[in-house]
Amino acid sequence: MDNLWSLLERSSRNFPEALALRFPAGKRYLTWLDLKQAALALARELQDRGIAKGDRVGLFLPNTPEFVISFFAASYLGAVVVPINGKLTAPEISYILADSRAKALLYAADRGETVKDTVNKTGVGVLLADTDFPAPDGRTNSDYREGGYAVAADLAEILYTSGTTGRPKGVMLTHDAVIAVGQMMAYEAQIYHGDNVLLLMPLTHSAPLNLFMVGAAWAGAQMTLGEFAPQALLQLAAGEGATHFFGAPVAYQLMSRLPNLADYDLSAMKFWIYGGAPIGREQVLNWQKFLPGKFMSVYGLTEAGPNGLALRHHEHAAKAGSIGGRGSVNAAVKILLEDGSEAGAGETGEIALKTPSMMLGYYNNSTATAEAVRDGWLLTGDVAQKDEDGYVWILDRKKDMIISGGVNVYPKEIEDLLLTHPDIADAAVIGVPHPDWGESVCAVAVANPGRELSLEDIRQFCQGKLADYKMPKVLRLVPALPRNSSGKLLKYQLRSEIS
């Protein structure tokens, strides 16, 4: 495959009358040929407005057919897609548009007011609302440049990191990198033509976009689009006969608590795939009690495509909670000690990845690129250990580690335990300043409706399950934890709110 456009070209040739997109909320259903013709019409419109190969095109669109159409239209022109999360504020959007030097912005009409507040200072010259996208004009392939304008090594995307530790950085990925990671996911999750991939997580994030939208396009599988809500997930999975779903762990947590879960026929689901945030063994095993079908964990960073590790279904009984025992297709994995040597079983180090879907670097940020990539290996910032069988267990983010009295405390272990408490709906653990010990372990919890929590209750629950130095010394109760739209906990924001 030369470029991302070639995926659409191939599927429209092989399966012209087969459904490519389902959008039940808008009662719209597009075949592969429909999708190709719509993308070509938009590409011609953008070309007429001066957009050419290499230009940055912002996509400020929800999970609708227009997002997919825009993605492939830009790919045809060789333009660079810059997806923008719909939940960002005007200053955050302005930063991304300015930093990426976007020349065009395609946006949902109902986001028009936000757009007006952002574009004046950014230099974006081409604005196009989704309601103004051109209809296919019936031109034949001969009217267009066969295969589009991009080659494999050209830049395809600038994906801005979710900013869980501060200001987002623009990850640069080429056409061949994105195709490689989409192909990997189609292989690992057995996505075939005739399958139906349910896309409810925001397509502005790398995993839904590159693993599952691109993976489905590579396989010629159908895509069902929508916005995530626990009940909507069940309704669409059952009503549309979905075969694959990817979600952050919080999506599964919310769905598993629905009282009417058993009312839905989910027998078509081949794979429930989760990733994007750490998760404990007991939570995963609990999901499996309620949901038919196979489970798969995926681990990777946007900077790697995302690619990294996978925990297959047959490994869950023994290793649920681990992120896998080997790299997924095309990925190599190491755990590195502070001196750069490889960790042995039981030793704590940082996960490093090497994959052909690796980023070119951070846009306009060579310093951050040099810090993240060493000798061709991506340093993930995730602290982990391998067990005696070679399976990798994440302890925590390097930056989230608590040092109390000179001893390292990894919040994830405590969080996993707290989430099994019957009265806790959500929980996080952070370090708070202590005059003698440096930091104390602080549990931040969301109580289930109608339930009360106290520090004494939580310490009794943890007694015998945690060493004393890991026990929460402080409790803060909050109505909700700050998370981004992909479900990742924003600990830097939580620390500022708690301090």
Task: Provide DSSP, 47-76.
Answer: HHTT--TT-EEEEE--SSHHHHHHHHHHHH
pLDDT tens-digit map of 197-243: 999 999 999 999 999 999 999 999 999 999 999 999 999 999 999 99
Question: Which CATH architecture best describes the domain 401-498?
Answer: 2-Layer Sandwich (3.30)
pLDDT tens-digit map of 288-340: 998 999 999 999 999 999 999 999 999 999 999 999 999 999 999 999 998 99
pLDDT confidence band for 26 (50 / 70 / 90): very high
32-48 vs 5-14: helix crossing angle, rounded to 10: 140
Beta carbons of 410 and 379 less than 8 angstroms apart: no
pLDDT tens-digit map of 30-69: 999 999 999 999 999 999 999 999 999 999 999 999 999 9
Question: What secondary structure does DSSP assign to 227-263, as a single string?
Answer: ---HHHHHHHHHHTT--EEEE-HHHHHHHHT-TTGGG
State CA 53 to chain mean position distance.
27
Answer yes or no: is pLDDT of 1 > 60.
no
**In the chain, % of residues over pLDDT 70:** 97
pLDDT confidence band for 163 (50 / 70 / 90): low
**In the chain, % of residues over pLDDT 90:** 75
Enter the tokens of residue 167. Answer: 């200001």
Q: What is the dihedral of CA 433, 164, 279, 179, to 10 degrees?
A: -160
What local confidence, expressed as pLDDT, does residue 28 receive?
A: 97
What local confidence, expressed as pLDDT, does residue 298 receive?
A: 97
Other CB atoms closer than 10 Å to residue 483's CB: what's the count?
Answer: 19
Mean pLDDT taken over the chain: 92
Q: Give the lowest-confidence range in 206-215, 274-283, 335-344, 381-390.
A: 274-283
What local confidence, expressed as pLDDT, does residue 156 receive?
A: 98
Question: What secondary structure does DSSP assign to 274-304, as a single string?
Answer: EESS---HHHHHHHHHH--SEEEEEEEEGGG
pLDDT confidence band for 142 (50 / 70 / 90): low
Dist. CA 81–CA 157, nearest whole Å? 5
Q: Which DSSP state fits 43?
A: H
pLDDT confidence band for 406 (50 / 70 / 90): low
Q: What is the mean pLDDT of residues 437-455?
A: 91
Answer yes or no: is pLDDT of 164 > 50.
no
Answer yes or no: is pLDDT of 491 > 90.
no
Answer yes or no: is pLDDT of 464 > 90.
no
pTM, full prediction: 0.86
Question: What secondary structure does DSSP assign to 143-196, as a single string?
Answer: GS-TT-S--TTSEEEEEE---TTSS--EEEEEHHHHHHHHHHHHHHTT--TT-E
Task: Could you please state the CATH topology (level 3) that the domain comprising 5-386 is classified under.
Answer: Rossmann fold (3.40.50)
What local confidence, expressed as pLDDT, does residue 166 receive?
A: 55
- Domain residue limits, the chain: 5-386, 401-498
